Amino acid sequence: MTDMSSPILATREVRKEFRTADGVIAAVDGVSIELNGGDFVALHGPSGCGKSTLMLMAGALLSPDDGEVEIGGENPYQLGVERRAGFRSEHVGFVFQQFHLIPFLDVLDNVRVCELASKSSADLDIRARELLDKFQLSERLHHVPSTLSVGEQQRVALARALVQQPKLILADEPTGNLDAENAGIILQHLSGFAEAGGAVLMVTHDDRARSAASRSLELKQGKICS
Ligand code: ADP
Ligand code: MG
């Protein structure tokens, strides 16, 4: 992190509009949130209320029309596109409902895939193997994703998110495709990440997932309402 005294994630009055055939949609309409180390925050609200748009802006993937995003005190949108990509792979881990694993790479290479975007290191290989061991996947290192169960696939995606040792995890419905047991495993690892000093922002519709978080935010029509 560039600045240890700053929040891990801060958004200040961020806005994003989309122009569609039906007019302009204010997808996110002035949202300010702050996450510090130890925070595990659940974000919920009806479909279309702006959750994914907020996550993309928070993750340095989508530039806000207005307002500011800071990750560890740095505004990623002030960086050029290439440096922003490097900043993102160093500081933010993403987990999605659809796992977005690369089908032709084996488990180990899926976790090491960030080497393509940033400097490779021998440490990365060690960390990838350690994480896969911790997630009970060491027997599966050389299997491709289609041969794994959905629970295993999401653990690979979580290992990939953690391998660069980010301070921030952004998870968009990470348990949406999982049964209760596998959802529980993912939530436990996310809690552990926060307890170790990281910050997690997780979109979820699931009450069980929400209760695993330490704090809950509700979004309605692009605004935080509780
Ligand atoms: P949620 O994740 O809460 O379901 P989203 O953030 O995906 O909501 O979407 C918020 C609103 O913005 C919705 O009305 C959606 O249709 C619209 N929207 C999202 N992305 C785009 C886009 N790329 N182009 C046009 N409209 C979009
Ligand atoms: Mg969404």
| Model confidence pLDDT, tens digit, residues 175-199 | 999 999 999 999 999 999 999 999 9
Q: Which ligand is nearest to the CA of 19?
A: 1
User: Which atom from ligand 1 is nearest to the alpha carbon of 20?
Assistant: 25
Residue (of 91, 92, 62, 89) closest to 77 by Cα position: 62
Per-residue confidence band for 119, with pLDDT thresholds at 50, 70 and 90: low
Of all residues in the chain, the percent with pLDDT exceeding 70 is 96
Helices (H), the chain: 51-58, 81-91, 107-111, 122-134, 150-162, 180-195, 207-212
Which residues, 6+ apart, have CB-to-CB distance to 116 below 8 Å?
A: none
pLDDT value, residue 73: 97
pLDDT value, residue 116: 56
In this structure, the residue with its CA closest to atom 10 of ligand 1 is 50
Assign 3-state DSSP to the chain and report helix, strand, coil percentages, each to 5.
40, 25, 35
Given a contact cutoff of 8 angstroms between Cβ atoms, the answer to whether 207 and 127 are in contact is: no
169: left (phi > 0), else alpha (psi -120 to 50), else beta? Answer: beta
For the segment 3-19, the average pLDDT, to the nearest whole number, is: 92
Interval between CA 50 and ligand 1 midpoint (Å): 6
Strand order in the sheet with 23-35: 23-35, 9-20, 66-71
Interval between CA 154 and ligand 2 midpoint (Å): 18
Give me the residues paired with residue 11 across strands. Answer: 33, 69
pLDDT value, residue 28: 98
User: Which of the listed residues 24, 53, 170 should we mutate to test ligand 1's pocket, taking the one with most ligand atoms within 8 A of CB?
Assistant: 53
User: Which atom from ligand 1 is nearest to the alpha carbon of 54?
Assistant: 6
- In the predicted structure, residue 47 carries a pLDDT above the cut 70: yes
Ligand 1 neighbours by CB, cut-off 6 Å: 18, 20, 25, 27, 47-53
Interval between CA 51 and ligand 2 midpoint (Å): 5
In this structure, the residue with its CA closest to atom 13 of ligand 1 is 48
pLDDT value, residue 114: 72
| Burial degree of 169 (CB within 10 A; 0-12, 13-18, 19+) | buried
Note the Cα 85 to chain centre separation in Å.
Answer: 15
pLDDT value, residue 53: 97
Q: Which ligand is nearest to the CA of 176?
A: 2
Q: Which ligand is nearest to the CA of 173?
A: 2
User: Which atom from ligand 1 is nearest to the alpha carbon of 172?
Assistant: 2
Interval between CA 122 and ligand 1 midpoint (Å): 40
Q: Which ligand is nearest to the CA of 58?
A: 1
